[in-house]
Structure 1
Amino acid sequence: MRTQNGESVLARAVRIFEAFTPEESALTVSDIARCTGLHVATASRLVAELVTYGFLARDADRRVRIGVRLWELATRASPTLSLRNAAMPFMEGLHDIVGHHVQLGVLDGDDVLTVERLTAPGAVVNYARIAGRIQVHASSSGLVLLAHGPADLRERVLDTSLHRYTPNTPATAARLRAELAEVRRQGYAYCPGYIHLDALAVAAPVRDARGEVVAALAVIVPNEAGAISLVPVVRTAARGISRALGNDRSPSLIE
Structure 2
Amino acid sequence: MPRTNEPGRTVVSRLLELLFAFQPGQSSLSLAELVRKTGMPHATVRRLVVELTGAGALERGEDGRYTVGLRLWQLGTLAPRTEPLRALALPFMEDLYAALQQHVQLAILEGREAVIVERLSAPNAMDLVSQVAGRLPLHCSGVGKVLLSHGGPDLIEEVLRGALPRYTARTVVDPAELRKQIADCRRTGTAVIRGELTDGADSVATRIVNGEGVVVAALSVVVRSDSVKHQAVLPSVVASGLGISRLLGWRPGVKVRER
Indicate conservation of the 8 Å contact 2:28/2:66, yes or no: yes
With structure 2 as the length reference, what TM-score do the two structures score? 0.93
The answer on 1:92 being equivalent to 2:91 is: no
- C-alpha distance in 1 between matches for 2:115 and 2:189: 21
Indicate conservation of the 8 Å contact 1:199/1:221, yes or no: yes
The answer on 1:247 being equivalent to 2:250 is: yes
- C-alpha distance in 2 between matches for 1:138 and 1:36: 31
Q: 1:186 aligns with which of 185, 188, 192?
A: 188
2:221 paired residue number: 219
1:176 paired residue number: 178
1:123 paired residue number: 125
- C-alpha distance in 2 between matches for 1:50 and 1:93: 39
- C-alpha distance in 2 between matches for 1:185 and 1:210: 18
Name the count of aligned residue pairs: 253
Q: Where in structure 2 are the equivalents of 1:76-87 lying within 5 Å?
A: 76-87=78-89
Q: 1:233 aligns with which of 231, 236, 239?
A: 236
SS in structure 1 of the partner of residue 77 of structure 2: helix
- C-alpha deviations, 1:18-73, integer Å up to 9, x for none? 21121111111111000000011110001111111111110011111111111111
Change (3 A) 1:166 1:43: same
Indicate conservation of the 8 Å contact 1:125/1:196, yes or no: no
- C-alpha distance in 1 between matches for 2:6 and 2:93: 50
Equivalent AA in structure 2 for residue 80 of structure 1 = T
Indicate conservation of the 8 Å contact 2:215/2:256, yes or no: no
Deviation at 1:213, TM superposition (A): 0.4
- C-alpha deviations, 1:116-169, integer Å up to 9, x for none? 100011102322311111111111001000001121111110111101111211
2:139 paired residue number: 137
Moved more, 75-84 or 91-100: 75-84
Query: Structure 1 unaligned runs (5+)?
Result: none
Deviation at 1:254, TM superposition (A): 4.2
Equivalent AA in structure 1 for residue 236 of structure 2 = V
Q: 1:210 aligns with which of 209, 212, 222?
A: 212
- C-alpha deviations, 1:177-211, integer Å up to 9, x for none? 12111211232000010111211001000000111
2:107 paired residue number: 105
Query: Structure 2 unaligned runs (5+)?
Result: none
- C-alpha deviations, 1:80-112, integer Å up to 9, x for none? 111111101111111112111000000011110
Change (3 A) 1:4 1:128: closer
Indicate conservation of the 8 Å contact 2:208/2:241, yes or no: yes
- C-alpha distance in 2 between matches for 1:131 and 1:76: 15
Deviation at 1:17, TM superposition (A): 1.2
- What RMSD in Å do the two structures reach over aligned CA positions? 1.7
Indicate conservation of the 8 Å contact 1:107/1:145, yes or no: yes
1:44 paired residue number: 46
- C-alpha distance in 1 between matches for 2:7 and 2:34: 19
SS in structure 2 of the partner of residue 242 of structure 1: helix
Moved more, 12-21 or 33-42: 12-21
1:19 paired residue number: 21
Equivalent AA in structure 1 for residue 10 of structure 2 = S
- C-alpha distance in 1 between matches for 2:17 and 2:214: 33
The answer on 1:198 being equivalent to 2:200 is: yes
SS in structure 2 of the partner of residue 76 of structure 1: coil
